[in-house]
Structure 1
Amino acid sequence: MIECHVRPSPLGPILYRAEDACLTGLFFVGQKHFPAGLPPHAIVHDGRPAPRVIEAACDEIAQYFAGERLTFSVPVRLRGTPFQQQVWDLLRQIPFGDAWTYGDLARRLGLPPGASRAVGGANGRNPVAIIVPCHRVIGGDGELTGYAGGVDRKRSLLTLEGGRGRAQLALF
């Protein structure tokens, strides 16, 4: 059974989706690639108790926004193509406060530089924002590009993390 709950965050409401004790989605409400076809009763605004995994994810996200959490431990299940899975697994290796380029990701996957667009497409379809840190991927020129939650949110997340290395170039 899929359960969804919407909770506030400093960057706007977040929809948390869980299935079988795993977090399967974390989306800014209204973002690009927001899940279609969710049953209206799944989005809960009335404070009804959420599954334990959603409560844990909410707590960890609150700690992250408070500057108290650098990594996440909530169990996550990501569904996508084998290529998307590879990209999402690699995203989880980007250290807090750092940023890699789409080209960096392609090279680390053993792909030619021209594969950056395909990597960007998979990155944009990441179903678990923040915890799978797709916001830590920037353009080769240091520009903030493509974030399903919007570039302003991406900038805010990188600023929160202190933006070391190439991320700093994009922030100023």
Structure 2
Amino acid sequence: MTVEAQVLPTPIGPLALLAREGVVVAAGFTADPQEMFVRLPPALRALDLVVTDDLGPSARAVRDYLDGDLKALDSVEVTQPGTPKRQRLLDALRQVPPGVTVSYAELAERAGLPRTAARAAGGACAQNLIAPFVPCHRVLPSTGGFGGYYYGVPVKRWLLTHEGALLP
């Protein structure tokens, strides 16, 4: 059993994709799949990491997204660890359409967790292992600006511009 990885070129730098049995378990803007691999849960880190030339549908979805099919990433199966509350937040995040931005509080509300502090939504974004498939770049602080992004604000800005979002 292995975790397969592929690094794809993008206009904003390399994107490492990691999948197990065709399901994306990590994705991030780095040229080194090992950077994503060490963030996986222990059960997956116990497997071998094997770099491949083509992860198939997930790699094709990234290329389609970059070519303008902004919904291409939506159909790719993903999985990542987290509590039931975090899973609800990540599921709600995946439902935010391309070109749309939400605040952390709005994300919590969309997840059916209106009493959840924006901090919990921020935590879910910060721990997200599968950017841009789980589009934490679409969450902006209600106070304005871009807020943080694990891969840097320039990457977040590029993704939002690519999707046609109104920028702060």
Fold match (TM-score > 0.5): yes
Which of 62, 73, 76 is 1:74 aligned to? 76
Question: Which residue of 1 is the match for residue 113 of structure 2?
Answer: 110
My pick for the range that moved more, 124-133 or 63-72, is 63-72
Question: Which residue of 2 is the match for residue 88 of structure 1?
Answer: 90
Which of 128, 131, 134 is 2:130 aligned to? 128
Task: Write the distance in 1 (CA, Å) between the matches of 2:120 and 2:130.
Answer: 19
- The Cα shift of 1:107 comes to 2.5
Unmatched 5+ stretches in structure 1: none
Question: Which residue of 1 is the match for residue 25 of structure 2?
Answer: 24
Asked whether the 8 Å contact 1:136–1:158 carries over to 2, the reply is yes
Unmatched 5+ stretches in structure 2: 40-44
TM-score by length of 1: 0.80
Question: Which residue of 1 is the match for residue 49 of structure 2?
Answer: 42
CA RMSD of aligned residues (A): 2.4
Question: Which residue of 2 is the match for residue 57 of structure 1?
Answer: 58
Task: Write the distance in 2 (CA, Å) between the matches of 1:133 and 1:98.
Answer: 10
Task: Write the distance in 2 (CA, Å) between the matches of 1:84 and 1:35.
Answer: 20
Asked whether the 8 Å contact 2:27–2:36 carries over to 1, the reply is no
- The Cα shift of 1:30 comes to 7.1
- The Cα shift of 1:56 comes to 1.4
Asked whether the 8 Å contact 1:71–1:96 carries over to 2, the reply is no
Equivalenced residues, count: 157
Letter in 2 for 1:69: L
Task: Write the distance in 2 (CA, Å) between the matches of 1:71 and 1:139.
Answer: 26
Q: Deviations over 1:142-172 (max 9, x none)?
A: 3101211111100000001111xxxx242xx
Q: Deviations over 1:27-82 (max 9, x none)?
A: 11179x8442769x8363xxx443xxx22111111111121332432222222222
Asked whether the 8 Å contact 1:17–1:23 carries over to 2, the reply is yes
Letter in 2 for 1:110: L
TM-score by length of 2: 0.82
- The Cα shift of 1:106 comes to 2.1
